[in-house]
Structure 1
Amino acid sequence: MSPTEAMPTDLKQAALDYHALPKPGKIATEITKPTRTQRDLALAYTPGVAEPVRAIHKDIEAAYRYTAKGNLVAVITNGTAVLGLGDVGALAGKPVMEGKVVLFKAFGGIDAFDIEVDTHDPDEFIETVARIAGGFGGINLEDIAAPHCFRIERELRERLDIPVFHDDQHGTAVIICAGLINALRIAGKRLEDARIVCLGAGAAGLASMHLLTTLGAKRENILMIDRQGVIRSDDHRANEYQREFAADTDRHTLADACVDADVFVGVSGPDLLTADVLSTMADNPIVFALANPDPEIDPALAHRTRDDVIMATGRTDYPNQINNVLGFPYIFRGALDVHARTINDAMLTAAVHALAALAHEPVPDSVLQAYEVDTLSFGREYFIPKPFDPRLIDVVPAAISQAAIDSGVARTDQAVRP
């Protein structure tokens, strides 16, 4: 079921009205310098604009000082994997890209442009992005189908000296990993010992499992499952990216994989984890059922089946929402603040640990008011920060910036925010 099919009729019309009125779309541009006098115009354009042109021609790093490059991200798609709607085409993906621009600005104070590239050819897409990238401080790839998304990101990262970040992969991975670190602590288990089942072998699943291994999970403890079952080393149908997690195992099905498993991560589809399968998992099972709008198992059913289950979903109406807005605005904010050349694993792990640690701190009153609750404290019902937590903009970017400096990918050794 797609997100729109699950939406009430009145909300569908409200969504259309929201995007159409009082003027079409969700974004616009603003002018940041005065334009009231002839002198202002002489500085903004000819002849004054020639001076920063000369400065940048002499030293391209001067673009960070004289243009908006350092606080500007391109949000780019080809429309091949838009939300749960599939390959709707580049232009139909524009409302989602505009929405991502809104989130960059609202949560990270980052300016962004959406760019829709009308091609299914990964080479054409890579070449297009590479040729326009110079004017931006970072590239956010969005809603690009696997497996092309892996190659596109890899080649652009090799060619460009600014961060290239596929949020469907790494943004999702950061939030999942932050939540899992805390959920394992609640369960009294260690990441390096945990047996993990991942249902969904696309962008989000592969990136999440990779980041978990970076954090200490053992690859031999991970079973990854796609539509045909467990991806095994004796099964050659998997693509080159999935084969990284091909397992030596005699388990074939999801039911086989979940027996005595500590963790289930679902980035797949609705109602695929049954109560019977959940009942075979280890004590204090951790279930991240992240399919939207309908998770792999209904939380009410999960709690009826196991009173010791530790649960997260991708929805706003249940506790412990795994929401990418906790990640990408702050990851880019931290990267842009030090003019980073890339976003590497050190920066992603810094984001994971910063988010996980924040959930242990006392929750501000403003967050309680925003979610209309009297109290929130670390535990089974709260182990990942809420998106409207005002501390995120200070805590996560600072961790990212420091990791960029420490790992040698920052152009400056001191974070400077526009």
Structure 2
Amino acid sequence: MEIAATVPLAGREDLSLAYTPGVARVCQAIADDPALLDRYTWVPNTVAVVTDGSAVLGLGNIGPRGAMPVMEGKAVLFKAFGGVDGVPVTLDTQDTDEIIETVVRIAPGFGGINLEDISAPRCFLIEDALKQRLDIPVFHDDQHGTAVVVLAALTNALALTDRLFETTRVVVSGAGAAGVACARILLAAGVRDIAVVDSKGVLHPSREDLNPVKAALAEQTTAETGRTGALADVLAGADVLVGVSGGTIGEELVATMAPEAIIFGLANPTPEVMPDVAHRHARVVATGRSDFPNQINNVLAFPGIFRGALDARASAITEGMKLAAAEALAALVGDERADDVVIPDPFDPRVGPAVARAVAEAARRDGVARA
């Protein structure tokens, strides 16, 4: 990574404009009219990529220094796929309140906040608090980036297998950040029969060991079905399995799913169900890996989502904007849709612009756009 100027700095005149005395005029203008910040600085195109290093990839709690390469990589992807300037911000604290206060204090220097690799359930509390206190987009990619791409891929998978969201049975294995977000976006897309399973079984209101986030999700997901039990109980006859747990799901359970099942085993590096096993019992199979077809890759979502939000000068990222991003991704597959092609390639040059346009339009529909 590097920072580069967008204007020349080749002589004394350039220096006098870029720094003293010329910069003082810009400072005073912005002080007099804060709206000019978006015109004269990089703020409206810059996102802070913030972590505390508590849940980095599959490595766990490796701290802010160990997390830095991932944050740098994220910033590189922001630039390459969305034209957005990402700045890694690794915080040497895992105290929820300290993280919230720190991000609030640095927010004036950024056009958006991308939260990354923060463990659950703190990630939910941090995101919710920042959304309430800031008037710029706040987005936890581990949650919503995954959810958007899952919804896009599932949209095409359901079309291939002649299913509808409203009548499809879904099981989400894993109730961490990604699992909760996937369940929520699938509910918003119209899924009515969805069971979310953690290490102790199906999330259900009768369980007394649920944190507030899981308890709220249990109410939402069991309102119509009332499903309880273990993974085996809800996987039997299910149409769709979304694995975001990191655990292994045995073939004997997968074999009980409905005909022409859909299996998304998204754990890295080892999917919950390896593709060779999944294909024996499912029609459409996706993973989080680049060496298998149908990679559920967050890079398909977050650069375009932030590009669209920044272009619209959105004050927030709404559910409508996430749904629009998923719809745009799904539509790009078009006539190429097949069992091994339910999501675009990350290097498809149409992806970023298509998602950005859809998100900006949704921001205007949802009343959060300021441009």
Q: What is the TM-score normalised by the length of structure 2?
A: 0.96
Contact 2:300 2:352 in 1 (8 A): no
Q: In the alignment, is residue 410 of structure 1 matched against residue 366 of structure 2?
A: no
| Alignment partners' CA distance in 1, 2:228 and 2:86 | 46
- 1:302 paired residue number: 278
Q: When the two structures are aligned, how many residues end up with a matched partner?
A: 366
Q: What one-letter code is carried by the residue in structure 2 that aligns with 1:337?
A: D
Question: Where in structure 2 are the equivalents of 1:133-172 lying within 5 Å?
Answer: 133-172=107-146
Identity value in percent: 51
| Alignment partners' CA distance in 2, 1:332 and 1:78 | 21
Secondary structure of the 1:102 match is: helix
Contact 1:56 1:63 in 2 (8 A): yes
Structure 1: where are the runs of 5+ without partners? Answer: 1-26, 362-376, 413-418
Shift of 1:225: 0.5
- 2:360 paired residue number: 401
83-92 vs 35-44, which moves further: 35-44
Q: What one-letter code is carried by the residue in structure 1 that aligns with 2:106?
A: I
Question: Where in structure 2 are the equivalents of 1:200-211 lying within 5 Å?
Answer: 200-211=174-185
Shift of 1:137: 0.6
- 1:281 paired residue number: 257
- 1:264 paired residue number: 241
- 1:108 paired residue number: 82
Q: What one-letter code is carried by the residue in structure 1 that aligns with 2:362?
A: A
- 1:87 paired residue number: 61
| Alignment partners' CA distance in 1, 2:81 and 2:125 | 29
- 2:213 paired residue number: 241
Which digits, 9 at most, give the CA deviation of each residue in 1:305-333, with x for residues without a partner? x2x43111101111110000000011011
Shift of 1:37: 1.9
Shift of 1:390: 0.8
Question: Where in structure 2 are the equivalents of 1:363-374 lying within 5 Å?
Answer: none
Q: What one-letter code is carried by the residue in structure 2 that aligns with 1:393?
A: G
Secondary structure of the 2:139 match is: strand
- 1:378 paired residue number: 337
Which digits, 9 at most, give the CA deviation of each residue in 1:17-68, with x for residues without a partner? xxxxxxxxxx111122221122111111111112221221122221110000
Q: In the alignment, is residue 212 of structure 1 matched against residue 189 of structure 2?
A: no
Q: In the alignment, is residue 391 of structure 1 matched against residue 350 of structure 2?
A: yes
| Alignment partners' CA distance in 2, 1:159 and 1:104 | 24
Q: In the alignment, is residue 49 of structure 1 matched against residue 23 of structure 2?
A: yes
Which digits, 9 at most, give the CA deviation of each residue in 1:86-144, with x for residues without a partner? 11111110011011011111111111110100111000000001000111011100000
| Alignment partners' CA distance in 1, 2:107 and 2:184 | 27
Q: What one-letter code is carried by the residue in structure 1 that aligns with 2:234?
A: A
- 2:231 paired residue number: 254
Secondary structure of the 1:286 match is: strand
Contact 1:105 1:112 in 2 (8 A): yes
Decide whether aligned partners of structure 1 residues 250 and 77 sit closer, same or farther in structure 2, where only a CA change above 3 A counts: closer
Q: What one-letter code is carried by the residue in structure 1 that aligns with 2:153?
A: G
Which digits, 9 at most, give the CA deviation of each residue in 1:207-247, with x for residues without a partner? 111111111112xx111111111112211111111112323
Q: What one-letter code is carried by the residue in structure 2 that aligns with 1:236?
A: E
Shift of 1:251: 3.4
Q: What one-letter code is carried by the residue in structure 2 that aligns with 1:255?
A: A
Q: Displaced runs of 4+ in structure 1, greater than 4 A?
A: none
| Alignment partners' CA distance in 2, 1:51 and 1:157 | 33
Structure 1 vs Structure 2 CA RMSD: 1.2
Shift of 1:249: 3.8
Secondary structure of the 1:196 match is: strand
Q: In the alignment, is residue 335 of structure 1 matched against residue 312 of structure 2?
A: no
Shift of 1:194: 1.0
Contact 2:203 2:228 in 1 (8 A): no
Contact 1:223 1:245 in 2 (8 A): no
Shift of 1:250: 5.7
Shift of 1:302: 1.6
Q: What one-letter code is carried by the residue in structure 2 that aligns with 1:269?
A: G
- 2:152 paired residue number: 178
Shift of 1:278: 1.2
- 2:6 paired residue number: 32
Q: What one-letter code is carried by the residue in structure 1 that aligns with 2:139?
A: F
| Alignment partners' CA distance in 2, 1:83 and 1:393 | 23
Q: In the alignment, is residue 225 of structure 1 matched against residue 225 of structure 2?
A: no
| Alignment partners' CA distance in 1, 2:345 and 2:302 | 14
- 1:198 paired residue number: 172
- 1:5 paired residue number: none
Corresponding residue to 1:290 among 245, 257, 266? 266
Corresponding residue to 1:128 among 98, 102, 107? 102
| Alignment partners' CA distance in 1, 2:33 and 2:167 | 51
| Alignment partners' CA distance in 1, 2:366 and 2:228 | 40
Secondary structure of the 1:171 match is: helix
